[in-house]
Amino acid sequence: MSHKYDPATAVQRLEQFGEFGGVNPSITDSATYTFLHEKTMLDTFHGETEGCFLYSRHWNPTNKYLAEALAAMEGTDSAWVTGSGMGAITTALLQLVNTGDHIITSVTTYGGTYAFLANYLKKFKIDVTFVNISDLDSVRKAIRPNTKIIYTESMTNPMLQISDIPELAGIARSANVKLVVDNTFTPMVLSPARLGADIVVYSMTKFINGKNDAVAGAICASAEFINDISNVNDGTAMLLGPVLDPLRSSNILKNLATLHIRMQKHGENAMYLAKKFRQIGLKFNYPGLPEHQDHELFNSMMNDGFGYSGMIAIDLETSERATRLMEMMQERGVGYHAVSLGYFKTLFSNSGRSTSSEVPEEIQKEMGLSQGLIRFSVGLDHDIEKTFKIIESCLKDLSFI
Ligand SMILES: *Cc1c(COP(=O)(O)O)cnc(C)c1O
């Protein structure tokens, strides 16, 4: 079976109706649910009924529609939606480990994930080994008898390094550990579960919702894993309670329907900027062009027709210069100086001092993270040529080019 997948068609083909034949599923604005018979309630409690709902921290019908769409997008059996990306990541990880276990992770992860792994899990005496995830030998060597998880991001933040998911899946399988992949930067572009990942996690705050009006997350996995996390007796999602609100869920589902078009446009605009940055001799990092060390790997894994996502990083060498450029770009209308990504406007931030500031400076150096690195999340600009011209004029005014 080819791993190439068509997540857009899988989502488009779903037929999810509301009450009264609404073309959008109804919003179930209820925390609790009544039963005609006590027995059905008890059976539902034990997970033995179909189509019954008990309490919305456990499952809500609106969340189920969104989860179904996300599972279709990933090609997994099932999914669960959370109130944040961190809610999804911490739930998935805590479900898989016990005190005394061990996790192997890419050193380049989202700052919050890094802090959770490096600082928070100490509480539970869970050891974490940070590796360069592109160095597969270092991953193999890090495996211990108590290793339970290999964790990575399909495209790492902010270095835009690409994880070799099939190879990591092979290593995980042979060591009998789970491969958990954060696919926040590359929804539709990459389908990690189809490439062998056991569990795919998302911050839906970014591309999936794409409106920067909500914080949300998702876990896509086997039916067994989703049942486990929502188990009333020992499920991490059920007991820690990071559930998404159904009103938000309904909005995100509608935004998911246009994700494929947005990813194409983000990708097209990022490609345009990358080629221009190359032309003017800027130091940049973009996995969609052959100069990037992981370009071929990316090509071998990506689905057709969604581009290379909308992320580019450029290196201004010093944080002072980066700051001046960002302020100028915002003033002149390139986009917003803000953390986060996947928005319709272009967003930019200095990674070392913002989203990766949880990562200690010596580790930032090890990652190759320059203090002058500006990460762009390229927006849905209709006239990207004009956007580039503004960026170019800012760089000239700074005498950087
Ligand atoms: C933003 C982000 C997260 C955290 O998600 P929240 O929705 O902010 O909790 C996790 N992973 C990656 C790659 C992110 O970009």
d(CA 66, CA 93): 22
Cis peptide before 61 (omega within 30 of 0): no
Decide: 153 and 106 in contact? Cβ < 8 Å: yes
pLDDT of residue 2: 58
184 lines ligand 1 (CB under 6 A): yes
pLDDT of residue 137: 98
d(CA 53, CA 227): 14
112 lines ligand 1 (CB under 6 A): yes
What is the per-residue DSSP string for 259-291? Answer: HHHHHHHHHHHHHHHHHHHHHTT--EE-TTSTT
Per domain, the residue ranges of the chain are 7-256, 259-397
3 state DSSP class of 21: helix
- 202 strand-pairing partners: 218
- The answer for residues whose C-beta is within 8 angstroms of residue 396's C-beta and 6 or more apart is none
Ligand 1 pocket: which of 114, 155, 200, 206 to mutate (most atoms within 8 A of CB) = 206
Q: Whose CA is nearest to atom 6 of ligand 1?
A: 85
148 lines ligand 1 (CB under 6 A): no
205 lines ligand 1 (CB under 6 A): yes
217 lines ligand 1 (CB under 6 A): yes
315 lines ligand 1 (CB under 6 A): no
Domain 7-256 has CATH 3.20.20.70: no
- Per-residue pLDDT for the chain (401 aa), expressed as one digit of tens each? 456 899 999 999 999 999 999 999 999 999 999 999 999 999 988 888 888 999 999 999 999 999 999 999 999 999 999 999 999 999 999 999 999 999 999 998 998 999 999 999 999 999 999 999 999 999 999 999 999 999 999 999 878 999 999 999 999 999 999 999 999 999 999 999 999 999 999 999 999 999 999 999 999 999 999 999 999 999 999 999 999 999 999 999 999 999 999 999 999 999 999 999 999 999 999 999 999 999 999 999 999 999 999 999 999 999 999 999 999 999 999 999 999 999 999 999 998 777 677 777 787 777 778 899 999 999 999 999 999 999 999 999 999 88
d(CA 207, CA 340): 10
Please provide the CATH number assigned to the domain covering 259-397.
Answer: 3.90.1150.10
Q: Whose CA is nearest to atom 5 of ligand 1?
A: 85
* Residue 360 structure tokens: 């200690």
86 lines ligand 1 (CB under 6 A): yes
Q: Whose CA is nearest to atom 4 of ligand 1?
A: 85
Ligand 1: nearest atom to the Cα of 217:
7
Ligand 1: nearest atom to the Cα of 109:
13
d(CA 195, CA 302): 10
Radius of gyration of the chain (CA): 21
Q: Minimal CA–CA distance to 315: which of 281, 341, 342? A: 281
